[in-house]
Structure 1
Amino acid sequence: MGENESVEAEVLSIGEEGIRRIRLSAESGIDRLGEMPLPPYIHQRLSDPERYQTVYSRQPGSVAAPTAGLHFTPGLLDAMRDKGVETAFVTLHVGLDTFRPVSEDDPTEHAIHTEYYEMPEETAAALTRARAEGRSIIAVGTTSVRTLEQVGRDRDAIEAASGQADLFILPGHRFRLVDGMITNFHLPRSSLVMLVSAFAGRERILAAYREAIEERYRFYSFGDAMLIW
């Protein structure tokens, strides 16, 4: 940012640990002056911001890319559809908890942040058809799991919806919409590890992580993924 350039922002609220929610207007210049937000374990700035983005992203707003979606290419999506896999999309602005470890010994005391989501009518209709026809619903990424389970928790039927997802999925959660998921290998003491443990069971997830470490799988954003079904 040059000496004569500035960005105007409105502070909406100040939360725990000094975290601020701010609003930037379309005229603020953030698109021109800002940089792609990256997780702390990526130390080199990307010359091409689209390198850290899914091929199907459309709306700006996330603080990070949904990492499981980074595995998909247009060719892979076409090959899946050719085999009869139906794809449906939601808008999800991934929030701060993607980076934030759980520091509390009791995870129920962890203050999870909300994430804005939108489920369009066509996606709600696709999920409803899949349910009626006995087909499985496979979510790509833990953040997508959270969105679908938020919709399933708040409504008896699968309907178009938008709002702030505040669901914290811990072991004992009863999954309503998701039959399986594709997810990367995550950092320890994260809410994401707790989510996959809630779905597949703690011991099974620990066994998968031991296998990943022994076989030298790659973790984190550009790492390997697993299908849990």
Structure 2
Amino acid sequence: MKRRTTAIITLIIMGLMLPSCDGGEGSSSDIDSTSNPTDISTPDSNSGSTIEAEQLPTPVLSLNENRDGLTWAAIDNASSYQVKVNEGSFEVATSYSFANAAGSYSVIVKAIGDGINYADSQESNPFAYSTVLLSLSDLERDGLTVSWTASAYQTEIKFADGDFILTEENTYIATESGLVTVRASGGFDEGDNVYFPGQPIIKSQAVVVSAQSSYILENVEDMSDTDLQENWIASK
């Protein structure tokens, strides 16, 4: 009788333990089915925060070595650069050459980031300039004076076999016979931000000092009217 009572109690205890074991197995199955190691978010994702991209420095424009365009220092982490001229669109470029067509221009450059860690820079200060076509008129002679009109970065003059000398004048007065040569050259005028494109233009004009024009007064007094007239015409 005592043994039978013990067996009944044992069965009752086992029956009570079965629901508890089933529930534990159910919890373990739910975790396994819903967990996926590839879907685990980083701490930044769990907090909802985002990494803000660093803005690149703004390019600073300057004349290139040849003074026929613009350049700028390389910017760390920039993937490329974009240039805009006047009201045009931004275009990828690594430098800028001045326009050969006459007109007014304004140039802006910005550095381009990767869009993830680095954001585009602000636009540079505009570089404004004008292009004026290089020109030199024919040289005109009036007696011993040679004159011209030039539109150039610089104008030089030389007489006979001498060297070219810079001049800001547009006339030259010869003191002896020889060849007057003028050279107009292109370049960039930093004072006015004007670009003169093209190869140098060179033109010449001969001048002749007539021997008769050097007569002193006493020689003139001994000349007849006919001689004076002939010498005057020759000196012209």
TM-score, normalisation: structure 2? 0.18
- Comparing both structures, which one devotes a greater share of its residues to strand? 2
Bigger helix share: 1
Q: Which has the higher contact order (CA 8 A, sep 6+)?
A: 1
